[in-house]
Amino acid sequence: MRRLIIFLLFLLASVWFGLKVMRHQGYLFLVYQPWMVQMPIWFAALVLVIFVLLFYFVVTSVDRLQLWWLRFQHWLQYRREHRAYSKTRHGLTTLVEGRWKKAEKLLLAGTNQSVEPLMNYLGGARAAHEQGEYARRDMYLQKAYHVAPDAEIAIGMTQAELELSQEHYEKAAATLNQLLKKSPRHPGVLRLLEKVYVRSANWKNLQTILPMMRKARVLTSDQFEQFEINVACEILRNDGKTLAAAEQLWDSLPRYVRKNPDVIYAYVQRLLALQRPSDAVVTQQIEELIRKALKTGYQPELVTLYGTLPFTDLNKQLVIVGAWLKMYGLKPEILLTLGRFCARLQLWGKAKDYFEKCLMQGKNPAASFEYGRLLENLGEQDAAMAKYREGLV
């Protein structure tokens, strides 16, 4: 209703204005020598309105054309990116499938239109590496550094992985150590560096990064301790070239590591390999280490090794091993060691008894050999041969 009233009022006003214009027509003169234009005012007003409307439509049409052009450009860009994405996705799929040549071709084609070609170059480097094309691999890695300098860690890790697969351990370690300077607690870099050091048996350097691995939570506390023990064993087995060097390595280990039976066993083996046959001081040192270790827990390897040491006072050692027998029971290693000591002391009856009890625990080639040698020394050739055969079966 309200709109109807407004419309009627507007209609009446228009009629009134039209009648006024018709009764009192004014004229508009436009003079521009040598021309002169005369027209009614209402016609001039109508022309002006039409001109304004035409101008408005032209302006809006230009805006719309620009908008359509922008939309078209965006569509073309989207189409190019989508095609590049399709090639990249297909290339990565074929890379996982192990079709290296096709993967390299697709990934390289995707770099020409991709906005972020980093993954294309990294995938292309891996594909070229698997084909043995190391020059192309290095070229792709250099291009990856060029297009994404802020992704140095990702590119460097890829490079190190490829170097590791070629067993270029020094190059891989150098690459990873460079990355480690920029990001000392990066878990991926530390894991990869740990793998490089393990494969290259570089136990000293592995030992230096273990604290960093624990701080980066790559290793739990329990894993760290076990890792440290394993590394210490490898260092003691391989690095000490002299008695002094071996002792220095032993002293450098944390106290809780030196209490571990596996570490003690590795150290004792190293001392035995380096000592002279007449070196009683080293023998005494080894004997003390084994005794201390066996006070805290049973270690069969240490007991077996104890029975092979060149002791001069076997009666004392016989008492010590007898105490272990009471502490840990009828363990085959303890019985074998007691049998060896009794045989060296020419206590033939006791030696036989210990060897027989040891063999009752189960098959034991070392005990069969020692028992056979004892019987052979006693002149029981047939029984000795039977024991020898028993140990070989």
Q: What is the CATH number of the domain that holds 348?
A: 1.25.40.10
User: Same domain, yes or no, for 266 and 302?
Assistant: yes
287: Cβ contacts below 8 Å, ≥ 6 apart = 306, 309, 311, 317
User: Same domain, yes or no, for 297 and 321?
Assistant: no
What pLDDT is attached to residue 84?
47
The whole-angstrom separation of Cα 89 and Cα 87 is 5
Kindly report the CATH number assigned to the domain that includes residue 207: 1.25.40
194-222 exposure pattern, b = at least 16 Cβ within 10 A, e = fewer = bbbbeebebbeebbebbebbbebebbeee
Domain final residue pick, 219, 251, 270: 219
Percent with pLDDT over 70 in the chain? 83
The structure tokens listed for 345 are: 């002391």
Positive/negative CA dihedral, 318, 319, 322, 324: negative
Domain final residue pick, 275, 310, 345: 310
Domain membership of residue 33 (yes or no) is: no
Domain membership of residue 176 (yes or no) is: yes
Positive/negative CA dihedral, 221, 227, 228, 230: positive
Count the alpha carbons within 13 Å of 220 in the hemisphere toward its beta carbon.
2
What pLDDT is attached to residue 170?
93
Q: What is the DSSP string of 105-145?
A: HHHHHHHTT-S-THHHHHHHHHHHHHTT-HHHHHHHHHHHH
Domain membership of residue 193 (yes or no) is: yes
Residues of the chain with pLDDT under 70: 7, 10-11, 13-30, 37-39, 41-45, 63, 65-85, 112-116, 276-279
Domain membership of residue 250 (yes or no) is: yes
Domain membership of residue 197 (yes or no) is: yes
How big is the chain, counted in residues?
393
What pLDDT is attached to residue 178?
92
Place of tokens 């390897």: 301
11: Cβ contacts below 8 Å, ≥ 6 apart = none
Domain membership of residue 74 (yes or no) is: no
First to last CA, the chain: 117
Domain membership of residue 57 (yes or no) is: no
User: Same domain, yes or no, for 323 and 295?
Assistant: no
User: Same domain, yes or no, for 211 and 171?
Assistant: yes
The structure tokens listed for 71 are: 């939309």
Domain membership of residue 302 (yes or no) is: yes
Which domain does 251 fall in, by range? 230-310
What pLDDT is attached to residue 185?
87
Mean pLDDT taken over the chain: 83
Q: Domain count of the chain? A: 4
User: Same domain, yes or no, for 237 and 303?
Assistant: yes
Positive/negative CA dihedral, 355, 361, 366, 372: positive
The whole-angstrom separation of Cα 329 and Cα 324 is 8
If one counts every other C-beta atom within 10 angstroms of the C-beta of residue 192, the result is: 21
User: Which uninterrupted H or E stretch holds 36?
Assistant: strand 35-40
Domain final residue pick, 172, 196, 219: 219
What pLDDT is attached to residue 75?
47
The whole-angstrom separation of Cα 226 and Cα 223 is 5
What pLDDT is attached to residue 118?
85
User: Same domain, yes or no, for 301 and 285?
Assistant: yes
